[in-house]
């Protein structure tokens, strides 16, 4: 019996109550917001003293929340054995969870700001293939979290390290690969597309503000307009431009703050074939992923990231059984040199020869038929509708809309010229993009199944669409030479079928 096992069933730190309060609140927000509606309706209809009623309800709710969190803490016990971790939890409905160490793919830790003061961690286990059952240990001491992580490291199958030189390298101490600074936070924030979503939310918010506020704003706008009239047209334009700029700066500020919250002091390190990322201002997130588990390595950039010359990198591992969301490991911002370095690190010698530089001259293009059929499918039908409309009504106004034709043709051509693929004996890299780039890389031996599809048009032109399914999604090569497609398929099948190495 090992030392850890001798401890038997243990409780988490009492501070785990904080964690359970968080979980309960999360559950309520996620599932039960609608069920609060009757309560709200009751309050609106209530004729008595609303204020004291709200106070009573709030007090009762808070007490109930704390009591149930304490109960959940009290009934949460875990026991670490040689082969597995056992967790017993549940106040009314009892649950026992046995997590075998060799089923665990990774240990992720999280630290919110209260836990940080006491140096406690919440440990989450990545168990691929489990039926959505999530294992976690709240508020455990650092020594235990580290003990669990080192246990898993010892269990890493030696299959991955094939020769001794590699094994020696594996034993080397953890190397820090990347550290993100404030400049990077600004880049992440500015490139964050979610900032635009805020616009979508602003509309309903204004609607909710009520008539009075709206009238006040309208009054203000009117007087302001009256004053502006004195300064003339350009002053008005300046005010509008200023307002738009103000909103944009505000949004950018918010998303930079969000980036700092999530990625402050982000550090990426590598040891024992494992990538480890730590970052976050209030809650520190730690993620680990074994490089051998990576199915697809992806680098992408939008317009903003392209201006900074940076990419967002992600490595995805196999999607687990019932939950279709795949586990991804993300590096929010990195330059091209680091992108290439991480790609080589993840795919090791198998990925060493392939370039993930999207501007590499060796990339092969899709057939021009791709461009042609895209234009035929997406541009021609709407254009014909417009022409028919003009003919039917005799009104020439809709013809102006035909201006979209050269625009979409141009965009389609741009997309075609950026589309490309590159392969060697071990893997394939696909690039695409419109304004920025997206590069997907994978190893042939990790492919799960392959499909070749041909439309009648494609058959006539001798092209085909090759689709390679990996455990984390598929990569499509549309409109490549049909001969190349079948040869690639046969070669990939050969690689998969002759591979003795674990694919996950």
Partner 1 sequence: MFQNPEISLEHLPSLDHVDWQPLHDRYVAEQVVARTGTLAFLVVLMCVVEFAPPVEIPLTLLRWGVLGLFGAALLTWPLVAVPRQGYIVRDKDIVFRAGVLWRSVTAIPYNRIQHVETSSTPLNRHFGTATLKLFTAGGAGGDMKIDGLPADTAEQLRVMILEKAGASIEQS
Interface positions with partner 1 (CB under 8 A): 159, 295, 318-319, 324, 326, 447-456, 459, 469-473, 486-487, 489-491, 493-494, 496-497, 499-504
C-beta of 132 vs 173, nearer to partner 1: 132
- Min dist CB 9 to partner 1, Å, is 34
- Min dist CB 452 to partner 1, Å, is 5
- Min dist CB 82 to partner 1, Å, is 24
C-beta of 214 vs 455, nearer to partner 1: 455
Q: Residue 178, Cβ neighbours under 10 Å: how many?
A: 19
C-beta of 276 vs 293, nearer to partner 1: 293
Return phi, psi of residue 17, to 5°.
Answer: -55, -40
**Beta strand segments in 208-357, E:** 267-271, 274-279, 284-290, 294-300, 310-317, 328-335
Closest of 333, 337, 316 to residue 325, by C-alpha:
316
* CA distances from residue 53 to 25, 33, 43 in whole angstroms, order as listed: 21, 20, 8
Pairing of strands 310-317, 175-179: unpaired
- Min dist CB 134 to partner 1, Å, is 19
C-beta of 95 vs 459, nearer to partner 1: 459
- Min dist CB 273 to partner 1, Å, is 17
Cβ–Cβ < 8 Å for 437, 380:
no
* Rounded Cα–Cα distance for residues 258 and 262 (Å): 6
Closest of 234, 346, 336 to residue 290, by C-alpha:
346
Cβ–Cβ < 8 Å for 87, 123:
no
Pairing of strands 310-317, 328-335: antiparallel
C-beta of 179 vs 449, nearer to partner 1: 449
Q: What is the DSSP letter of 33?
A: T
Instruction: Report the chain's terminal Cα–Cα distance, integer Å.
Output: 31
C-beta of 108 vs 316, nearer to partner 1: 316
Render the burial of 467-497: b for 16+ CB within 10 Å, e for the rest: bbebbbeebebbbbbbebbeebbeebeebbe
- Min dist CB 500 to partner 1, Å, is 6
- Min dist CB 442 to partner 1, Å, is 12
* Rounded Cα–Cα distance for residues 313 and 438 (Å): 10
Mind spelling out the 3-state secondary structure of 336-360?
HHHHHHHHHHHHHHHHCCCCCCCCC
Q: How many residues does the chain have?
A: 504
- Min dist CB 453 to partner 1, Å, is 4
Closest of 91, 101, 97, 110 to residue 2, by C-alpha:
101
- Min dist CB 420 to partner 1, Å, is 21
C-beta of 260 vs 468, nearer to partner 1: 468
C-beta of 327 vs 438, nearer to partner 1: 327
- Min dist CB 294 to partner 1, Å, is 13
C-beta of 220 vs 494, nearer to partner 1: 494
C-beta of 19 vs 444, nearer to partner 1: 444
């Amino acid at each position: 019996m090992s030392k850890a096992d001798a401890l038997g069933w243990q409780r988490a730190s009492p501070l785990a109550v904080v964690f359970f309060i968080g979980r309960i609140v999360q559950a309520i927000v996620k599932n039960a917001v609608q069920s609060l509606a009757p309560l709200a309706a009751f309050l609106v209809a209530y004729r008595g003293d609303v204020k004291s009623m709200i106070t009573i309800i709030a007090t009762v709710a808070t007490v109930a929340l704390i009591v149930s969190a304490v109960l959940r803490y009290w009934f949460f016990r875990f026991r670490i054995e040689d082969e597995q971790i056992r967790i017993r939890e549940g106040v009314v409905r009892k649950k026992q969870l046995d997590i075998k160490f060799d089923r665990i793919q990774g240990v992720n830790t999280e630290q919110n700001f209260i836990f940080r003061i006491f140096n406690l961690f919440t440990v989450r286990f990545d168990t691929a293939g489990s039926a959505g059952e999530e294992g976690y240990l709240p508020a455990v001491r650092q020594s235990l979290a580290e003990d669990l992580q080192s246990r898993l490291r010892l269990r890493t199958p030696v299959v991955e390290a094939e020769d001794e030189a590699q094994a020696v390298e594996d034993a080397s101490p953890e190397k820090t690969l990347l550290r993100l600074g404030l400049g990077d936070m600004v880049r992440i924030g500015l490139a964050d597309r979610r900032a635009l979503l805020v616009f979508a939310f602003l509309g309903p918010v204004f609607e909710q503000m009520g008539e009075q506020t709206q009238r006040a704003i309208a009054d203000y706008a009117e007087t302001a307009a009256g004053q502006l009239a004195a300064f003339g047209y350009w002053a008005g334009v300046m005010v509008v431009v200023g307002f738009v700029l103000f909103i944009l700066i505000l949004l950018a500020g918010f998303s930079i703050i969000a980036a700092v919250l999530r990625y402050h002091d982000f550090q990426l390190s590598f040891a024992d074939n494992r990538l480890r990322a730590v970052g976050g201002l209030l809650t520190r997130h730690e993620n680990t992923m074994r490089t051998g588990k990576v199915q697809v390595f992806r680098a992408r950039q939008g317009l903003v990231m392209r201006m900074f010359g940076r990419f967002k990198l992600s490595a995805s591992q196999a999607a687990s059984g019932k939950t279709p969301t795949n586990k991804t490991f993300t590096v929010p911002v990195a330059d091209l040199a680091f992108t290439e370095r991480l790609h080589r690190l993840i795919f090791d010698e198998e990925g060493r020869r392939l370039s993930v530089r999207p501007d590499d001259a060796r990339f092969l293009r899709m057939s021009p038929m791709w461009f042609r059929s895209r234009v035929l499918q997406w541009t021609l039908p709407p254009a014909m509708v417009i022409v028919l409309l003009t003919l039917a009504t005799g009104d020439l106004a809709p013809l102006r809309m035909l201006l979209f034709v050269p625009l979409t043709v141009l965009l389609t051509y741009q997309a075609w010229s950026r589309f490309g693929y590159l392969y060697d004996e071990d893997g394939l890299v696909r690039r695409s993009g419109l304004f920025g780039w997206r590069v997907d890389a994978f190893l042939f031996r990790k492919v799960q199944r392959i499909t070749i599809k041909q439309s009648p048009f494609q058959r006539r032109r001798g092209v085909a669409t090759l689709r390679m399914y990996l455990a984390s999604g598929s990569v499509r090569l549309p409109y490549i030479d049909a001969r190349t497609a079948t040869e690639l398929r046969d070669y990939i099948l050969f690689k998969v079928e002759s591979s003795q190495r674990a694919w996950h």
